[in-house]
Amino acid sequence: MIATIKEIIGGAKSLLVGMSITAKYGMSKTVTAHYPFETLDITPNFRGHIDLVVNTKTGKHKCISCMMCQRTCPSGCIEIKAEKPEGAKKKQLVEYHLDFTKCSLCGNCVEVCPTKALEYSNEYNLVGTSRHDFHFELVERVVKRADAMGIVVVEEKAEEPKPEKAAAEAPVGDDNSE
């Protein structure tokens, strides 16, 4: 009998202790963010889908079409088309097709790249109504991103590199990108 009464009192006390904690936290500051109205800062290290690095001097990508990323990708989501134009010494990237629906973000492609031409984008708000919305054409994206960063694309003149022009325009591009 006494044990039962003790248990009831002890139990009621434990509930009050729990309630007091709830009350204490109920009065304190809200810990959640009300999403569409406020957003949290995303760390710059966030790994979104891959993107080609924009060269801030020329406004172009650094890819040399060595196909290492395509070969190392365990999911087979990268497809590269490269051509060798008449008279040119090097292969040139024509299409860099990323099928993001297959990608599991292991990062092997970024690490294997010999010219560090790949980076992770910071896009986390990806949404689409069909799976084709997640097929990215990275060469097109480079043009758009260079435009958005305010970099003037330097056209390569065959056999006639102009270092003065590139050097003169580089600081402008750097300022705008930051």
Partner 1 sequence: MIPHPDPTQETLVLNMGPQHPSTHGVLRVLLKMDGEYVIEAEPVLGYGHRMHEKMGEVRSHNGFYANVGRMDYGGALSFAHGHVLAVERLSDIQVPERAEYIRVITTELNRVASHLLWIGAFLLDLGAFTPILYSFDDREIALDLLEHVTGARITFSYFRVGGVCNDIDEQFIEGTKKFIKRMRERIPMFHKLVTGNIIFRKRVEGIGIIDRDMALRYGVTGPMIRGSGIPYDIRKVEPYSVYPEFDFDIPTYDEGDCMARHKVRMDEIEQSLRIIEQGLEKLPDGPVMMEKVPKKVKSGPGDTFMSVEAARGELCYYLATDGTDTPYRMKIRSPSYSNLSILKEVTSGILLSDLVAVMGSMDLVIPEIDR
Q: CB-wise, 120 or 169, nearer to partner 1?
A: 120
- How many C-beta neighbours within 10 Å does residue 78 have? 22
In the 3-class helix/strand/coil scheme, how is 55-121 assigned residue by residue? CCCCCCCCCCCCCHHHHHCCCCCEEEEEECCCCCCCCEEEEEEEECCCCCCCCHHHHHCCCCCEEEC
3-state secondary structure of 158: coil
Would you tell me which residues interact with partner 1 (CB under 8 A)?
A: 7, 10-12, 14-15, 17-18, 21-22, 25, 31, 43, 45-47, 72, 74-75, 104-108, 111-112, 120
Minimal distance, residue 60 CB to partner 1, in Å: 26
Minimal distance, residue 15 CB to partner 1, in Å: 6
Q: CB-wise, 31 or 158, nearer to partner 1?
A: 31
Minimal distance, residue 51 CB to partner 1, in Å: 14
Q: CB-wise, 23 or 172, nearer to partner 1?
A: 23
Chain CA centroid to CA 57, Å: 21
Minimal distance, residue 167 CB to partner 1, in Å: 33
